[in-house]
């Protein structure tokens, strides 16, 4: 099973005997929420999932998008029609960040069959609908632990013994600018690996061989312990997905830079080198 699906493949699956549950997770950092976009047109049968309210906990010392309360997340998935034994396809507006966050959470909590629509909504070849789904509530009960996660201390240790990838834009890694969090720079020892470089010009993921070569050049390959962080744990999930496409397991640091910088005692590196 692959972790991404094309629009043509999704259309075929939806017309087949065992159609997947489809989740719309369109989201823009800082707003506005994606619900109006969903209401204006979505893949037929798709249910809307709110990233801030259902795929993250309240912002605080654990970061801007800490992992959600499992009760809240499980209720949201059941409301959206997610069943433990039925495939799920997740999409967003095309960058893959918020869709990958939902993909990662479902995989992390034990769902065995989740894919991201490669290229987002723009890859959908059919018409859009304004009608919300009328399916029954699902039965998915999340149980955490199926994918690896890192605490702040574990991320720092991994940067010393393995490869810790920083998925943010290069200028934020280097400390040249920081538009959101209170301190600019990166975790000492982390390697710059912006998520934009995981995608082709059309917004789809680069081929697996290209991704594997990219990560290999950054020091990450099969057999290497790899972790990923970003600003708040959302775009880093897209990098974990890209690593999986490349055949490289990766652990997510959910708190990411927003949690790291919440503690002024933690060291910060700047410049183009890991430090």
DSSP 159-207: HHHSEEEE-S-HHHHHTS--SSSSS-SB-TT-EE--GGGGB-TTSSBPP
Active site residue 230: yes
Q: CB-side exposure of 4: number of CA atoms within 13 Å?
A: 25
Closest Cα to residue 254, out of 109, 81, 71, 49? 109
Which residue is catalytic, options 123, 159, 191, 230? 230
Q: Is 215 exposed, middle or buried (0-12, 13-18, 19+ CB in 10 A)?
A: buried
Distance CA 256, CA 114 (A): 24
Both tokens assigned to 268: 């910060």
Where in the sequence numbering do the catalytic residues fall?
Answer: 230
């Amino acid at each position: 099973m692959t972790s991404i699906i094309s629009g043509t493949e999704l259309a075929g699956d939806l017309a087949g005997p065992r159609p997947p549950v489809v989740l719309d997770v369109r989201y823009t950092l800082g707003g506005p929420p994606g619900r109006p976009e969903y209401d204006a047109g979505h893949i037929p049968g798709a249910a809307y999932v709110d990233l801030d309210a259902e795929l993250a906990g309240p912002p605080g010392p654990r970061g801007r998008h800490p992992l959600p309360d499992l009760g809240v997340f499980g209720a949201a998935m059941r409301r959206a029609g997610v069943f433990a034994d039925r495939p799920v396809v997740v999409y967003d507006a095309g960058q893959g960040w918020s869709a990958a966050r939902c993909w990662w959470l479902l995989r992390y909590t034990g769902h065995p069959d989740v894919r991201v629509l490669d290229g987002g909504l723009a890859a959908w070849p059919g018409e859009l609908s304004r009608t919300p789904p009328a399916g029954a509530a699902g039965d998915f009960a999340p149980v955490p632990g199926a994918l690896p996660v890192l605490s702040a201390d574990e991320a720092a240790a991994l940067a010393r013994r393995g490869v810790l990838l920083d998925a943010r834009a290069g200028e934020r890694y280097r400390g040249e600018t920081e538009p959101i969090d209170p301190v600019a720079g990166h975790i000492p020892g982390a390697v710059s690996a912006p998520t934009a470089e995981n995608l082709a010009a059309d917004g789809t993921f680069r081929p697996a061989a290209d991704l594997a070569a990219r990560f290999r050049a950054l020091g990450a390959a099969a057999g290497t312990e790899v972790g990923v962080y970003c600003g708040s744990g959302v775009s880093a999930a897209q990098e974990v997905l890209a690593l999986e496409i490349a055949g490289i397991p990766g652990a997510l640091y959910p708190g990411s830079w927003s949690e790291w910088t919440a503690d002024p005692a933690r060291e910060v590196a700047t410049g183009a080198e890991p430090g």
